Amino acid sequence: MTPISTAQSPIATSAAVAGRGSAQNTKTDAQPTVTATNRGTAIAAATVVSLSMTATAATTTASAAKDPSTGKKDFATVAKDARASLDAAFEKMGRTADNRTTDAEWKTAVAGLDRRSLYAIASNQGGQFNELEQGLAKTTMSKQVDTAMGLDNPVAAANQTSAMSKAEIQFLDGVSDEEKTSFDWAKRRASAQFGYEVFSTREGQEPENLDSENPIVKLIKGGLDRLKQTGDSSQQLEDTPQYKQAVQLSEQLKAANASSSSGTGGHKVDITA
């Protein structure tokens, strides 16, 4: 999928940003890329994001521990159950998941799994899922968001609105805490908000404040705003300092979480943009 750059203005929206880097299976349907023209929109100021200890700590709250008050399964158990469910489904079909697996067979195999289980597969929780299964799970999850937006309707996909982008934001804000720690989620959440603001302005409406409290989302959104502000056709989102800092913060948080989960105590991360 084509990377976002100011040369594309029309501005590439959430489907383009979120799609890059995700494993795709050749038997699954391609996701639509939606664009919108907004040259007349006033340029937003570049976002300056200050990441305090409190804000950064908010991204590390997703824990594998079971919540005794809700009885919610820990993520390791979710992954184990997803593995067992996939194995049982394919055993019933008399086969295993491989490159010949059809879209219909995969849909049957995951029909009883919720999004948290799909994320366990997509993120290879516990190292239990192969690359094909991870890619198919990512595609299924992406299609769920597209359906929530109405992008499964070709007419709507060609005429995206602010209401559709708002629906995307609401869907993404409702996913599991584990998924919200992923960089892919942060990219799509940031680009959904960027698209919402663009479409709202184009429709003559004042955008609602739909800011995320996630500092990685804030940084990526700042990168998108910077591209829009500069109008430099040679730059892509990945070239912006905000995006690079988002990647850095994401890696540091992964390391901190890994350290904490291994019983070494972890450490706090404090980065100021």
- pLDDT one digit per residue (tens) for the chain, 273 residues: 323 333 333 334 444 444 443 433 333 333 333 333 343 333 333 333 444 444 444 444 444 445 565 678 999 999 999 999 999 999 999 988 888 999 999 999 999 999 999 999 999 999 999 999 999 999 999 999 999 999 999 999 999 999 999 999 999 999 999 999 999 999 999 999 999 999 999 999 999 999 999 999 999 999 999 999 998 888 999 999 999 999 999 999 989 887 776 654 444 443 322
Check residue 232 and give its pLDDT: 87
Cα→Cα distances 29→24, 57, 152, 211, 246, Å: 9, 37, 11, 31, 30
How many structural domains is the chain composed of?
1
Three-state DSSP class for residue 202: helix
- How does 192-231 read in b/e, with b if 16+ C-beta sit within 10 Å? bbbbbbbbbbbeeeebeebebebbbbbbbbbbbbbbbeee
In a domain, 165, yes or no: yes
272 domain residue, yes or no: no
Q: Is the pTM of this model over 0.85?
A: no
Rounded to whole angstroms, the Cα distance separating 73 from 272 reads 35
Task: Give the domain extent around 23.
Answer: 6-261
Residue 159 domain flag: yes
In a domain, 1, yes or no: no
Contact partners, residue 160, CB within 8 Å, separation at least 6? 13, 34, 36, 149, 151, 195, 199
C-beta of residue 193 within 8 angstroms of C-beta of residue 211: yes
The reply to whether 271 falls in a domain is no
67 backbone dihedrals φ, ψ, rounded to 5°: -85, 110
Residue 96: per-residue pLDDT: 87
The CA distance from 27 to 13, in Å, is: 24
Q: In this predicted structure, what is the pLDDT of residue 23? A: 38
User: Is 256 a member of any domain?
Assistant: yes
Q: Is residue 273 part of a domain?
A: no
Domain assignment present for 269: no
